[in-house]
Structure 1
Amino acid sequence: MRTARVIPMASGVLVTALAASLAAASPAAADPPDSPADDSALAEFHEQELAWAPCTEEVLQGLECAGVEVPLDYSDPDGERVTVAISRARASAPDRRRGILLTNPGGPGGPGRVLGGYYEGTRVGEVYDVIGMDPRGTGASSPRMDCGNDPVPVYPRPTNAEISEATREAIRYQRECQRAQGGLRPHMTTANTARDMDVVRAALDEEKTNYLGYSYGTYLGAVYGSLFPERLDRSVLDSPVHPDGVWREMFLTQAPAYSANMDRYTAWAARHDGALGFGSTQEEVYATFEATSARLREEPREDIPGLVYDSHAFDFEVGQISRYQQFWDLNSDYLGYLVRGEPLPTALASEFEALAEEDEEEDVTLMNVDLQTAVLCEAEWPGRISRYHADAREYREEHPYGVGAYWSVPHPCTFNTLDRPEPPVELERDGYPEPLLIAGEFDANTPYEAGVAMAKRLESPLITVAGDGGHGFYLPGGLECVADPVEAYLVDGVVPDDLTCQGLPPAEMGTQPEPEPDTEHLAPMREEPVLGGPVV
């Protein structure tokens, strides 16, 4: 039986889910400035003894955990130090061990220690010590980025007044974060995280590292390869970001990708009008969703524990649902209650209440929005506010579902006044083996064209997952046509040609067993964020 989970998005919950679904792009820039990153300058860090101990967090049970000291500023290794938290799952077949596999879940801002135990029982877990890592500033790494203030609101379809409000909130957020942690924020960059990875490699006494990264983690892996080509062996980049362009330009490609998924979903819903009642044509289905959004703008629902479910939550959530064609039947059943304005079933409301209680507890797997924003400020953002506002008005009309106009309005980094220690790293592959890339045809986090461009830049093979709107595809228990070539590459060193893997087909109403009367109704939206992939 398929399980899925929909979580209505509103207020801070929506911000967390959206932030976690992001992927990064790499702006073209000059080489980083000279810094004492050679082995002699970092010898003390490379030769440190790690104090391994059983991880204490429940989600990390069975793993070993340790802290790795690294310089806050690699141009001043004798200065302030920070700690990077890592986990380890030792190779289950030590006689065939071929080194470490360093992993990253995406984000930026996604803690990654949980990935240490993610590949237990796979061929990868047999031959690699899998290393999970909470990048500097997040998770159990310290100091942790925490501005102590509220994030900016998320408006997929903002009114003119909300565009102005979002602008003011972006200014407020950036100023308060600079005031609270201005000394740390400029050092929270992708390049420094890559340098931390190399300290981890050396502290583990490994000549080379192997790497598996999802979403933003693909950019991190490509940066590592650009900075340390002689120290990177095999690498898999799952759901790649685009290798060119400043951050905002990459993010603006998400909204059209959501719209493409909405076209797929509304056409499917029209074919199943007899069961759903959303409309018998695509136009009628869209009209139904528009009417529901308008009603929720005027009268938000308050029957979902811990949330005020308004039009912004609905617009974002329908866009998310449109991506996961294998759950369209279950998710449409849930959307029906919103469309008809009916109370949610008791079991569903109870599940939301439990989830709201979980959100109040500290979770080592949650995305760190403050770190994410700091990393995004490593690149320049456009400074002309009128450009943002014009784009926001266009995107709210053309792409109202999913992320909508979120990336069109001014971002906190628009108002960054902190000096950037160095420009972003220019990606190149010169001296390390060709990585293996995976990209989904309808991925809305990192659209397919980004994967094609990254494969071209790195001169590497690409696995295309056809007909699939997911994000992050090499998952234990996932598609065999992805897992088989990935594991043959990582374990056996077999580099495939470009190939196509057929994704999961769209659901058909009435062909699946009736779900249990609890959380089986719900859709896979918020598990995705932490990993940006293997639910990033």
Structure 2
Amino acid sequence: MECATIVVPKNYRKPADGNLSIAISRRKATDPAKRQGVLLLNPGGPGGDGLLMPQGFKNDKVAGPFDLIGFDPRGTGRSSTLHCAEPPIVPLYETRPTDKQFAQIAADAEAMEKGCEAAGGGLRKYITTANTARDMDVIRAAIGEKKINYLGYSYGTLLGAVYGSLFPGGLNRSVLDASMHPDWQYYEQAKQVSVAARENFDALAAWMAERDSRYHFGKTQADVRTYLDGIRAKLAARPVAWPGEPGMPEIDGTWFDIILGGSGYRPAWALAAELIGQIRDAANNPAQAKLSPDAGKALKILYGNIKKTYNGVFPAVTCEAVWSKDPKGYEEQMRLFREKYPYGPGAMQAAPTNCSFAKSKPQEPLVDLKRKGYPVGLVVGAEFDPATQYDGSPAMAAALNNNLISVRDEGSHGQYGTNPCVTKKVDDYLIKGILPGSRVECEGAPRPDVPADGQAATRAKPAGSLAERAAAIAAQGHFDRRR
């Protein structure tokens, strides 16, 4: 790749106030004779750095006719960075907090806001979606293009929609994959993560119930949930050690919720059920049963750690919308979510954030999203998407009057480059200009070939250790090649 730095105003309203640097990259079209311009890429976030993204698509069809352009948005990576001061204490993270813990969660959010404000250095209020979109238009001009084509994932879908709304003359074809909801900025978007986690858990529980003779969690979805909630209570009282992985925490009730809610990707269900079974056995028989080191490695590969970020972009950008200052409203929502949507991050997605304590007002209103003056684009959404709930994709398609590709029974985040059906339709659109139809569907990744009770097995037991199987599933993942 070729790399460069461009200079943009910190404040577009007052360009004389100072400048920022934006790191950009380019991988030139491998078929120059058929070159069709540039394809600008964004991985999402807010706060995702995209400088290396062109390398992730070097073997894809779009690498032929397009110069692939990556960039680190303002505040991230090799661009002018924004940081938050580390909170004085480790914030409380509890998927099912008690009423007594609400005050601590609010205090942690307020401390985070104070740390971000203290370290903002006069830059923080200019880290917004609209300003990043303005930077994108500077990138377009700097590389000598009249128009860009665009591919964005997750939050990158909102960024692409904002760019098209502000600079319709600069946008040609656009693909918005795993779309945010245009009306959920940002508290409702956060809560929907736990809604999706509950939907994914319910689907997994129903699948395991049909295979009770193999997994022994219960014969109905409701029985599975009741049984695993009982295991969760045991883990909350006496956590299970995470073996063989230095630095990983014990598996307590909160971690069990994260694992249960994070098992939405359909090909991972059989492995997830085995790992949950090992945790169950260790919780039921702490003196005799322990997690194996192989299980510890597999759990780390699939679920990792609770990510802690000190980059200030996410807590800055999410404050571009107005947040409620009413603590009672957040407490009411946390009570609802700990009961109804406790899996994955659970009630933490309904908790107040640093934005609930922001003293400064947003610099400008949110951009009114519309498509007027650039071609019809594609929005891609997957059922059971764990990060940007599926409902956001049809809503974004309707708001922009774009075409929609829906992926059935999927459970993962981001489809272009991983789902063959989606990839072909998007390639045909980006390269040939062929729209797939206003509303089309693709099949999601297949569920594991594990027979339900009373059915004959059709395939041998999966080969390899738990960790090897987890690594194979992770290799199908939906972020690595895009970062």
TM-score higher than 0.5: yes
The aligned runs of 1:50-89 (5 Å cut-off) are 63-89=1-27
Residues 1:494 and 1:254: Cα distance change in structure 2 (over 3 Å): same
| Equivalent of 1:465 in 396, 407, 414 | 407
What is the Cα deviation at residue 353 of structure 1? 8.3
Task: State the alpha-carbon separation in 1 of the partners of residues 90 and 75 from structure 2.
Answer: 17
- 1:514 paired residue number: 462
State the distance in 2 between where 1:446 and 1:176 align. 28
Shift, 1:152, TM fit: 4.1
Task: Give the structure 2 partner of residue 185 of structure 1.
Answer: 124
Quote the offset at 1:370 in angstroms: 2.6
Residue matched to 2:69: 131
RMSD: 2.6
Structure 1 residues 128-187: Cα deviation after superposition (integer angstroms, max 9, x where no partner): 111111111112222342433477443221122222211110011101211121512111
Name the amino acid aligned to 2:277: G
CA distance in 2, matches of 1:172, 1:527: 37
Deviation by residue 1:51-95 (Cα, 9 ceiling, x = unmatched) = xxxxxxxxxxxx222222211111121222221222222111111
Amino acid at match of 1:306: G
Instruction: State how far apart, in whole Å, the 2-side matches of 1:182 and 1:152 are.
Output: 23
**Secondary structure at the counterpart of residue 33 of structure 2:** helix
Moved more, 104-113 or 280-289: 280-289
Would you say the 8 A contact 1:473–1:534 is kept in 2?
A: no
Q: Please state how far the C-alpha of 1:211 moved relative to its aligned partner.
A: 0.3
Matches within 5 A, 1:96-245: 96-149=34-87, 152-181=91-120, 183-245=122-184
Q: Residues 293 and 311 of structure 1 are in contact (CA less than 8 Å); yes or no, is this contact kept in structure 2?
A: yes
Taking structure 1 as the reference length, what is the TM-score of the superposition?
A: 0.81
- In the aligned structure 1, how far is the partner of 2:310 from the partner of 2:42? 14
The answer to whether the 8 Å contact 2:412/2:478 transfers is no
Q: What percentage of residue pairs aligned between the two structures are identical?
A: 38
> Residue 499 of structure 1 aligns with which residue?
440
User: Who is 2:268 aligned against?
Assistant: 327
Residue 370 (structure 2) aligns with: 428
Secondary structure, aligned partner of 1:438:
strand
Structure 1 counterpart of 2:445, one-letter code = L
1:474 corresponds to which of 405, 412, 416: 416
CA shift for structure 1 position 407: 2.2
CA contact (8 A) 2:196 2:385 kept: yes
Is the contact between residue 301 and residue 471 of structure 2 (CA under 8 Å) also seen in structure 1? no
CA distance in 2 between partners of 1:295 and 1:396 (Å): 17
SS at match of 2:146: coil
Work out the CA distance in 2 between the residues paired with 1:450 and 1:121: 30
Give the drift of 1:534. 6.1
Alpha-carbon distance, 1:527 to partner: 8.5
- Deviations along 1:241-282, one digit per CA (max 9) or x if unpaired, are 111244112322332222222211101011112221222222
* Alignment CA distance shift 1:528-1:383 (3 Å): farther
Question: Is the partner of 2:52 in helix, strand or coil?
Answer: helix
Q: Secondary structure at the match of 2:117?
A: helix
CA distance in 1, matches of 2:123, 2:391: 34
Give the direction of change, closer, same or farther, for the CA distance of 1:231–1:186 in structure 2 (3 Å limit): same
- Gaps (5+ residues) in structure 2? 283-288, 451-456
Distance change (3 Å), C-alpha of 1:191 and 1:353:
closer
Once residues 317 and 90 of structure 2 are traced to their aligned partners in structure 1, the CA distance between those partners, rounded to angstroms, is 15
User: Offset at 1:525?
Assistant: 9.4
In the aligned structure 2, how far is the partner of 1:355 from the partner of 1:327? Answer: 9
Give the superposition deviation at 1:448: 1.9
Flag the 1:328–1:518 CA change in 2: closer, same or farther, 3 A.
closer
Distance (Å, rounded) in 2 between the aligned partners of 1:332 and 1:355:
13
Which segment drifts farther, 129-138 or 248-257? 248-257
Asked if residue 262 in structure 1 is aligned to residue 196 in structure 2, the reply is no
Consecutive unaligned residues of structure 1, counting only runs of 5 or more, are 1-62, 360-364
User: How many residues of Structure 1 are paired with residues of Structure 2 in the alignment?
Assistant: 464
Mapped partners of 1:67, 1:212: distance in 2: 21
> Which amino acid in 1 is paired with 2:204?
Y
**Structure 1's 402 and 352: CA in aligned 2 closer, same or farther, altered over 3 A?**
closer
Contact 2:298 2:468 in 1 (8 A): no
C-alpha distance 114-153 of structure 1, shift in aligned 2 (>3 A): farther
AA aligned opposite 1:517: S
Does residue 486 in structure 1 map to residue 434 in structure 2?
no
Q: Greater relative contact order (Cα 8 A, min sep 6): structure 1 or 2? A: 1
Residue 95 (str. 1) matches residue 33 (str. 2): yes
* Aligned 8 A contact 2:82 2:123 in 1: no
TM-score normalized by the length of structure 2: 0.89
User: Contact (CA 8 Å) 1:88, 1:117: kept in 2 or not?
Assistant: no
Q: 1:369-420 CA deviation, whole Å, 9 max, x = no partner?
A: 5311111001101111101001101110011101311221111100001242
Q: Partner of 2:362: helix, strand, or coil?
A: coil
Q: Tell me the distance in 1 between the aligned counterparts of 2:329 and 2:206.
A: 34
Range with greater deviation from structure 2 (384-393 or 434-443): 434-443
1:151–1:214 Cα change, 3 Å = farther
Other structure's SS at 1:132 match:
strand
* 8 A Cα contact 1:151 1:173, kept in partner: no
